[in-house]
Structure 1
Amino acid sequence: MPRNELKQQLQALHETLKESPQVDDETQSLLQQIAVDIGELEVGNAADLSERVQEQAVQFEQEHPALAEILRQIVDTLGRIGV
């Protein structure tokens, strides 16, 4: 069940990124890489993934609250699947 939630959250992240032209190219590239990493999630490669996602959520709190919320949901889901 958490993997299905994760897919839905990744879809929401992609949709929100498309609707957020004010996100600079570097940040958008970083978020897209996080989404790719999550999509290709393997236990051995996941050591710092949750931490990176959490850091991005904190950075977006003021300027991009919708992105920050989605990222926090992804961190929560990653925790439930053991990442």
Structure 2
Amino acid sequence: MTIDNLKESLQKLHATLESGAPVDPEIQALLQTLDTDIQKVLAKNSSPVVETTDDNEASSDLVQQAQKISARLAVRHPHLEPVFREIADTLTKMGI
């Protein structure tokens, strides 16, 4: 999996959010926070700086955050869950 796959999955999620049923504000806020966090990780991964322990912990937290949101989406917004699961899987496979 590449960063391009992750970016493509994020674009699919945004498109699905815009075209689908309304999403409750709590889920919307969680998704926005996760999107921002993913963008930060992607920016760090594109720089030649060596990863630190803090970066590894942040990446682990990001995967856990994605898994929690995926579980909530499966219950509350099943139309979003497949796209979001793709994002969570990509993060895991990339080691983020």
**TM-score of the alignment, normalized to the shorter chain, above 0.5:** yes
**Correspondence for 2:48:** none
Equivalent of 2:76 in 63, 69, 82: 63
Query: Highest Rg: 1 or 2?
Result: 2
> 1:60 and 1:21 mapped to 2: Cα distance?
12
Structure 1 partner of 2:15: 15
The Cα shift of 1:21 comes to 4.6
Structure 1: where are the runs of 5+ without partners?
A: none
- In structure 1, give the amino acid aligned to 2:31: L
TM-score (norm 2): 0.74
CA RMSD of aligned residues (A): 1.7
Gaps of 5+ in 2: 45-50
State the match for 2:4 in structure 1: 4
TM-score (norm. length: structure 1): 0.84
> How many equivalent residue pairs?
83
Amino-acid identity (%):
36
